[in-house]
Chains A and B, each alone.
Chain A
Amino acid sequence: MSIIREKGSKRKALGLIAYMVFVLLPIYWLLNMSFKTNEEILSGLTLWPNDFTFDNYITIFTDASWYMGYVNSMTYVAMNMVITLLVALPAAYAFSRYKFVGDKHLFFWLLSNRMAPPAVFLLPFFQLYSSVGLFDTHLAVALAHCLFSIPLAVWILEGFMSGVPREIDETAYIDGYSFSRFFITIFIPMIRSGIGVTAFFSFMFSWVELLLARTLTSVEAKPISAIMTRTVGATGIDWGVLAAAGVLTIIPGVLVIWFVRNHVAKGFALGRV
């Protein structure tokens, strides 16, 4: 019996390893290419850079029009995260604790925005943000990304908050806490893992989105993903720099995932696992 099981688990491990190789191969190829010169990339296939070079990264870090793309992306992602958390926390509390007129409809309407195809809204978005004078600012992108990050945040937080028993609220009120004091000093610390997950998800969805970010910016707030299209020049595509820029966009995600690795799935399930 145990022999059979061991065989099964070995086969299982092999299957998993095969899938992981499938996940990592394209990323490895990008990484490999980012350390090559363009001549080497185009001259033939090498599994490891023969002529190992940091030139592609140096190009990015010394050219303001390149690295400002990262700064811009980081700026609007951070703004989006702060705005989302500030407004979603009280709203999620309201949804998890109270019944009020139109609550179900409001909840569904919020959710439907998470599902709205961005291509539908491109042109109106452009016109709206131009008319209020926000076009080409970080705030415009942050606000536009709120369209899908807020519904998601409300959902995830509501899931976490519903796990906190009501009695805690009531005890705090009996002890004479005001709502804001209770909320900040007692309630928020209790759901901090939920807040972490929410922050991670609003970071992530804002970081990976390109369509809206590109439409709402031209020069000042241009995101890195839009700048990447620049590598297509008169002499063809600058593959090395393109690969290096791609690798640099992966790094922030890898850094933050470590902190929420145990809660990722719960977040993807909108707090409902």
Chain B
Amino acid sequence: MNKTPNNKAWWLVLPVFLLVAFSALIPLMTVVNYSVQDIFDQNTAYFVGIEWYQEILQDERLRESLFRQFGFSFAVLAIEIPLGIFVALTMPKQGWQASVSLILLALPLLIPWNVVGTIWQVFARGDIGLFGWGLNSLGVDYNYTANSVDAWLTVLLMDVWHWTSLVALLCYSGLRAIPEAYYQAAQIDRASSWSIFRYIQMPKLKGVLVIAVLLRFMDSFMIYTEPFVLTGGGPGSSTTFLSQTLAQMAIGQFDLGPAAAFSLIYFLIVLLLSWLFFTTITHMDKDKS
């Protein structure tokens, strides 16, 4: 659609700009401010320049949680994207079954994140939880509060439970956009179900999959509440992801300077990803028109 140039449109955008600026720019400036100062208490602070940045780049704990974070995010993508596509392909196309499965799918997405943590905390316990008890009685030695591999897998399983629905919903609406005539043509050609998937469904899904991958990557990159409730970051630091490490530094130990400096680096990583996301989507919109 061709848009008319009109700078008066700024007046329509102004309220949004002011509101978001209040909640985004001021805190961001505060973080920048912290990151270049050494703060003892409310009134004593020294300017230290880039010292914190140098320090945190050497910090073993932060580097570890950054790697753990990347590992987790990639594991999340590797499971949720194929599973989401699979679920979307199996969903009924119309009727009450379609409505019911849509609503059931959306259910985990509507639960407050700490309740998601609580649900899995209860569900995975060996003594009172169905999942933990079931595994134990099958002879699997499973205990997410003591074993770090179990804890990591439980957090991963929880995230799969929580967010695969998002991927599935996106793919489902992508699939609905395919005209029925394509399938009829495929039937006449006696196409196998694999080639229907490969040559009809997959190309149509590309657009929504880009959105799904980027949203899932970014959101799993910021994960905080769910593992915090489920494992508290432990045992040891096996499930302490990046946000939690930062929150511990800033609020727990009051190491404001290093926490702020690393927050900014974290924010830059996310910003880079958002930019990627934004350009991909605008390109997609352009291709469409």
List residues of chain A with CB under 8 Å of any chain B CB.
Answer: 8, 12-13, 15-16, 19-20, 22-27, 29-30, 33, 41-42, 45, 47, 83, 86-88, 90-91, 93-101, 103, 106-108, 110-125, 127-128, 143-144, 146-147, 150-151, 154, 162, 166, 204, 207-211, 224-225, 228, 239, 242-243, 246, 249-250, 252-254, 257-258, 261-262, 264-266, 268-270, 272-273
Q: B118: which A residues are within 8 A, CB to CB?
A: 30, 228, 242, 246
Q: A27: which B residues are within 8 A, CB to CB?
A: 107, 119
Q: Is the CB of B170 within 8 A of A265?
A: yes
Q: A273: which B residues are within 8 A, CB to CB?
A: 170, 173-174, 177, 207-208
B224: interface (CB < 8 Å): yes
CA distance A19 to B165 in the complex (A): 10
Q: Is the CB of A210 within 8 A of B23?
A: no
Q: Which of A33, A83, A91 has the most CB of B within 10 A?
A: A91
B47: interface (CB < 8 Å): no
List residues of chain B with CB under 8 Å of any chain A CB.
Answer: 1, 3-10, 12-13, 15-17, 19-20, 22-24, 26-28, 30-31, 83, 86-87, 89-92, 99, 101-115, 118-120, 122-123, 127-131, 133, 161, 165-166, 169-170, 172-174, 177, 193, 207-208, 211, 215, 218, 221-222, 224-225, 242-244, 246-247, 250-251, 256, 263-264, 266-267, 270-271, 273-275, 277-278, 281, 284-285
CA distance A41 to B5 in the complex (A): 65
Q: Is the CB of B30 within 8 A of A124?
A: yes
Q: Is the CB of B243 within 8 A of A117?
A: yes
Q: List 24 A-B contacts (CB under 8 A).
A: A12-B89, A30-B123, A42-B128, A45-B130, A90-B13, A90-B15, A91-B12, A91-B13, A91-B16, A94-B13, A100-B7, A108-B274, A115-B218, A121-B31, A125-B27, A128-B30, A242-B118, A246-B115, A252-B110, A257-B107, A261-B106, A268-B166, A272-B207, A272-B284
Q: Is the CB of B9 within 8 A of A15?
A: no
Q: For A118, give its contact among B101, B222, B273 (CB under 8 Å).
A: B222
Q: Is the CB of A108 within 8 A of B31?
A: no
Q: A26: which B residues are within 8 A, CB to CB?
A: 119-120, 123, 131, 161
Q: Which of B3, B91, B256 has the most CB of A within 10 A?
A: B3
Q: Is the CB of B107 within 8 A of A16?
A: no
CA distance A83 to B19 in the complex (A): 10
Interface of B is mostly: helix
Report the minimal beta-carbon distance from B32 to chain A, rounded to whole angstroms: 10
Q: Is the CB of A246 within 8 A of B173?
A: no
Q: Is the CB of A268 within 8 A of B169?
A: yes
Report the minimal beta-carbon distance from A24 to chain B, rounded to whole angstroms: 7
Q: Is the CB of A208 within 8 A of B112?
A: yes
CA distance A121 to B24 in the complex (A): 8
- Of all chain B residues, the one with the shortest Cβ separation from A98 is B9
Interface of A is mostly: helix
Number of inter-chain CB pairs below 8 Å? 278
Provided the pairs A15-B86, A121-B27, A250-B115 are in contact, do residues A87 and B110 lie with their beta carbons within 8 angstroms? no
Provided the pairs A20-B101, A93-B12 are in contact, do residues A15 and B20 lie with their beta carbons within 8 angstroms? no
- Of all chain B residues, the one with the shortest Cβ separation from A112 is B274
Q: Is the CB of B115 within 8 A of A97?
A: no
CA distance A113 to B17 in the complex (A): 12
Q: B17: which A residues are within 8 A, CB to CB?
A: 106
Q: For B281, give its contact among A116, A261, A266, A272 (CB under 8 Å).
A: A272
CA distance A111 to B271 in the complex (A): 9
Q: Is the CB of A265 within 8 A of B110?
A: no
Q: A254: which B residues are within 8 A, CB to CB?
A: 103, 107, 110
Q: B110: which A residues are within 8 A, CB to CB?
A: 204, 207-208, 250, 252-254, 257
Q: Is the CB of A100 within 8 A of B267?
A: no
Q: Is the CB of A162 within 8 A of B1?
A: yes
CA distance A45 to B130 in the complex (A): 8
Q: Is the CB of A124 within 8 A of B3?
A: no
Q: Is the CB of B161 within 8 A of A115?
A: no
Q: Is the CB of A211 within 8 A of B106?
A: no
Q: Is the CB of B20 within 8 A of A264?
A: no
Q: B89: which A residues are within 8 A, CB to CB?
A: 12
Q: For A87, give its contact among B16, B28, B131 (CB under 8 Å).
A: B16
Q: Is the CB of B7 within 8 A of A101?
A: yes
- Of all chain A residues, the one with the shortest Cβ separation from B108 is A23
Q: Is the CB of B177 within 8 A of A211?
A: no
A98-B9, A268-B169 known, 20 other contacts, Cβ within 8 Å? A30-B122, A45-B130, A45-B133, A95-B13, A100-B5, A101-B10, A108-B275, A115-B222, A117-B224, A117-B266, A119-B242, A122-B250, A123-B251, A124-B26, A224-B112, A225-B112, A246-B118, A272-B285, A273-B174, A273-B177
- Of all chain A residues, the one with the shortest Cβ separation from B87 is A19
- Of all chain B residues, the one with the shortest Cβ separation from A267 is B169
